[in-house]
Chains A and B, each alone.
Chain A
Amino acid sequence: MSAQKLHIDSYERGWMIFSAFLLVAFAVAVSVAAFGMGIQVPAPEQRVDPRTVATDPNSPWSNPGLREVAPGKYDAYILARAVPLWEYLPKELTVPAGSSVSFYVTSSDVQHGFKIQDTNANFMVLPGQVSKLTVKFDKPGAYNFICTEYCGSGHGIMYGAIIVTP
């Protein structure tokens, strides 16, 4: 009975310590990026009724688009929808370089995605929920935003663009 201890070979012990160290290092790196550098994932923002969110006059998504809330600071209300056609409303936004834009995106039908190319903005768009992330656009150019979740047969044509002017 005395032999019934967990036998670990010395090489294997070394490997396990190395593995644990490696994983802790990764977790620390991710934490530093999240809490030190502020690269954050979406948080619960607001809940809406997908059946009325696009039509209720009190809903910002009944009149989606860009609002300037302070100089160089914008709120962008974007509606993702598959019905009647796969599209974002509005399809195109224009802001000057150096602008900080907070995106508020929701869906009036099925699940969609929203990924702005060449940025860290990438999130799910769910009916009933509002997804929010803020992006600062320093470099002029056209940034496509693309639907990244299957939303029916037109999923592959669903995109829009943010035009950043010099």
Chain B
Amino acid sequence: MTQYQVSAVEKKFIGHHILVAILALAVGSLFGPLQAFEHAGWDFYTYLKPLIKSYYQGLTVHGVLNALVWTTFFIMGFLTFNVIFGLKRPLKNLTLNRVGFWLMVVGVVTAAIPILANQATVLFTFYPPLKANWAFYAGLTLVVVGSWVEGWGLFLTYRDWRKENPNERTPFVAFGSLVTLLLWQICTLGIAVEILTMLLPWSLGLIDNVDPQLARTYFWFTGHPLVYFWLLPAYISWYAMLPKQAGDGKMFSDSLARLSFWLFLVLSTPIGIHHQYVDPGVPPAWKFLHSVFTFGVFFPSMMTAFTVIASLEHAGRKQGGSGMFAWIGKLKWNDPAVASQLLAGILFFFGGIGGLANASYNVNLVLHNTAFIPGHFHLTVATAVTLSFIGISYWLVPYLTGRKLWQPKWAVAQAWIWFVGMIIFSNSMHVLGLLGAPRRVPLGLAPYVPAEWNSRLFQVGLGGAILFLSGAIYLVVMYKTATNKERVETEVEVPIAQPMQDPANGPVWLDRWAPWIYGALALIVLMYGPVLFEMIKNIALTSPGFRVW
């Protein structure tokens, strides 16, 4: 059986995305454990003074590189692959995609300069009136614009495919990728407006003051669907690749997988105010409405859990597994791509529960901006997403480079070490948050820390150290793979789990774009229109900028 051949030049192009992503992860993850160590009272920043001036400069590097750069580059590379391979056709216009990629690279460099010069120690949320150097905002803009351009290139490729195949169902991996890209195009409007109408002209000295409440509202318009931009590529892999890798399983429900992607497109943007439950300038009625819809977006995640687990069960039983749970042991745990993603999925279960707590309107009063929040998103973006991407890279990098994965056993160990480290780190962060510990504070130095927090603070440091070890192993495995002299004999097989029912028998409306796009836009207008209109009408540009780091 021969599989569709992605051209060498396209493989290289995708590989460049993965390379930048892993470099970002490498640098960003250096600082992760340093943050954790500060909680335990182990201060390494003193020794970094010539290079990195403070904990917060390190935290900015960590957040920007890990949450924004690693994810975005990996996602754009992976989705580009999915569209090409799924549609079985080359990119319509490789040059256009190249332009997008290089815009993103120039953006990262442009933003990195002020960050490294300690001119943009504003963390990855960059709430004004903390005022960074203009290059920071310009760089972020270029990254977003570059990702848009790459998205357009993929949409054009899809349009040609559709013209030639008017009655075919879009192959699932391409379908999921295109929905993710569309979501990204819609939701990044918030951050684009924030930067272009306020932060960039302000940092350039064209306007003197900004409205912090309005800026936060623009930010979270993008900030929450950003989470789904991270997650959906992992979902694509869990739905349509992992069951195959785990034991030749099939995708349990193609139609419901598609439906859940559409629901994510429609529901993930008009809920951003659930990050602003305790903002003073947002009326509670809107907060409540967004909280109800946030529960709504949990629904497709529950559907995803069912289909993914059912597909894995199919794989497990195919491998001779039986019983209620015993089939789990029959999955191919010694394949690092499988182990990473299964472990990522297990921790995501707890991430989901914590997310529901955050989303719960007044329950959030107990949790808002406590250590619970970084505890939560280290289970989601830093495990469900990151460990899944790591798992994907364990087959994708050998596929792209034609070089054998170096020491798969080490790769499996890496996933388990991440799993253990993250349990220790994240559990203690959650508990600290419930005890009242604030986020974004080097708690080892804070004057108000009661003695009862100390054992948990130590666990945060310990978890950080274990995660550091795991990250280091990952980088060694990747480096050794990329330079491996041993090549794969035949091209690595791209794992695609076939659906149990022929997608062609699914309803046509699952392959129509217009109603879902209009639905998504209409819901955004309903859920954000009035509240944003009021805020813009009553805009108060009264906040000058501050550099207090």
Contact = CB atoms under 8 A, between A and B. Distances in A.
A125 to B, nearest CB: 8
Given A26-B295, A110-B548, A155 B441 contact: yes
A111 interface: yes
B129 A7 contact: no
B213 A128 contact: yes
Given A4-B505, A23-B295, A155-B441, A44 B446 contact: no
A92 interface: no
B54 A128 contact: no
B365 A120 contact: yes
B250 interface: no
Interface in A90-139: 109-111, 113, 115, 117-118, 120-132
Given A23-B298, A149-B440, A126 B548 contact: no
A43 B278 CA distance: 8
B361 A129 contact: no
B448 A4 contact: no
B298 A41 contact: no
Given A148-B370, A156-B445, A124 B279 contact: yes
Contacts of B288: 31, 34
Interface in B440-457: 440-443, 445-448
Contacts of B278: 41-42, 122-124, 131
Contact of A83 (B287, B302, B362, B546): B546
Interface stretch (B187-195, B252-260, B489-497): B252-260
Contacts of A123: 278-280, 368
B68 interface: no
A16 B303 contact: yes
B120 to A, nearest CB: 13
A42 B441 contact: no
Given A121-B365, A129-B280, A157 B446 contact: yes
Contact of B439 (A4, A128, A144, A148): A148
B500 to A, nearest CB: 9
Question: Which size bracket describes the interface of A in this complex?
Answer: 35 or more
Contact of A111 (B212, B438, B508): B212
A164 B439 CA distance: 26
Interface size class of B (residues with CB under 8 A): 35 or more
B527 to A, nearest CB: 16
B213 A40 contact: no
A12 B548 contact: no
Contacts of B546: 82-83, 109-110, 152
B540 A128 contact: yes
A46 to B, nearest CB: 9
B201 interface: no
B191 to A, nearest CB: 17
A107 B185 CA distance: 35
A27 B506 contact: no
Contacts of B256: 6, 8, 12
Nearest to A114: B278
A16 B302 contact: yes
A41 B369 contact: no
A82 B56 CA distance: 15
B30 interface: no
A6 B507 contact: yes
Interface majority SS (helix, strand, loop, mixed), chain A: loop
B542 A115 contact: no
Contacts of B130: 110-111, 150-152
Contact of A41 (B253, B310, B365, B446): B365
A144 B277 CA distance: 22
A75 B346 CA distance: 48
Given A27-B292, A128-B212, A41 B277 contact: yes
B307 interface: yes
Nearest to B367: A122
B436 interface: yes
Contacts of B321: none
Nearest to B360: A30
B91 to A, nearest CB: 31
Contact of A12 (B253, B362, B447): B253
A47 interface: yes
Contacts of A23: 295-296, 298-299
B207 interface: no
Contact of B362 (A7, A30, A82, A159): A30
B217 to A, nearest CB: 11
Contacts of A118: 436
Contact of A131 (B280, B361, B366): B280
B469 interface: no
A157 B447 contact: yes
A150 B362 contact: no
A20 to B, nearest CB: 7
A117 B433 CA distance: 11
B282 interface: yes
Interface string A5-35: 1111101100110011011101100110110
A47 B538 CA distance: 10
Contacts of A27: 291-292, 295
Please name the 6 residue pairs, one residue from A and one from B, whose CB atoms are nearest each other, closest first.
A152-B548, A148-B369, A19-B302, A129-B280, A131-B280, A156-B441
Interface of B: 54, 56, 123, 125, 127, 129-130, 211-213, 216, 252-253, 255-256, 259, 276-284, 287-288, 291-292, 295-296, 298-299, 302-303, 306-307, 310, 356, 360-366, 368-370, 436, 438-443, 445-448, 501, 505-508, 510, 538, 540, 542-544, 546, 548-549
23 contacts: A3-B505, A6-B255, A6-B259, A6-B506, A6-B510, A7-B501, A8-B256, A9-B253, A16-B299, A24-B295, A41-B277, A41-B278, A42-B279, A44-B281, A51-B542, A115-B436, A122-B366, A124-B369, A126-B212, A126-B279, A144-B448, A150-B125, A150-B130
Interface of A: 3-9, 11-12, 15-16, 19-20, 22-24, 26-27, 30-31, 33-34, 39-45, 47, 49-51, 82-83, 86, 109-111, 113, 115, 117-118, 120-132, 144, 146-157, 159
